[in-house]
Amino acid sequence: MTDPTLALGTRNGLPDEIALLRAAFPKDAWRGHANFGQLADFWLHVHASLRQEGANVSRIVDAFRARQIDAARFQQGFVSGLNHFLQHLDQHHRIEDHAYFPKFRQLDARLVIGFDLLEHDHVLIHEGLVATVERARALIQALPGPDAARAVDGYAVQMQAFVDLLLAHLADEEDLVIPAILQHGERALG
């Protein structure tokens, strides 16, 4: 990526010249389109699941910070929830990078720059994932000691920054992927 204004965390959505099919396929009409099928529905379902899983982890962190749950209950829910969320996210991005994004690039050369941008997003998100795991480990090691409050506050800041990047990426990806599916049909993706 050469334009720093297009970096995830800097940009405010995809510009029209990258999400060039977005205007022809407004979001509120996606599900009613003749080419909206199982793949488009599944893609949106996976993204909704990722949003929910991230929110679930944030909720348990907030409950611990508000002293609504103790350290043992927090650790149990936090570790399993975070692991599930991050593994799901990593798996989803691997499938996109290795299976779907190459097909989209071949399908419509006008969209190549957008898929290159989304792959660059994946690199940044992976860096955020690693930083989140490091903060989570520090938090778990601090439990239930006197440094737990400071550790959970540090984790919460890292997690929020990570989730903000992810949410922006998911929205941008939908603005590129779903209109492409509607334009070309799911069969074109094999």
Q: pLDDT by residue (tens digit) across 10-45?
A: 999 999 999 999 999 999 999 999 999 999 999 999
- Preceding omega of 144 cis (within 30 degrees of 0): yes
Write out the DSSP string of 1-66: ---GGGSTTTSSS--TTTSTTTTTS-GGGGGGSTT--HHHHHHHHHHHHHHHHHHHHHHHHHHHHT
In tens, the pLDDT along 163-184 reads 999 999 999 999 999 999 999 9
Boundaries of every domain in the chain: 25-189
pTM metric for this prediction:
0.95
Report the CATH fold assignment for 25-189: Four Helix Bundle (Hemerythrin (Met), subunit A) (1.20.120)
In tens, the pLDDT along 111-162 reads 999 999 999 999 999 999 999 999 999 999 999 999 999 999 999 999 999 9
Question: What six digits make up the tokens of 75?
Answer: 């650790």
- Of the candidates 139, 47, 34, the one whose C-alpha atom is nearest the C-alpha of residue 85 is 47
What is the average pLDDT score of the chain? Answer: 95
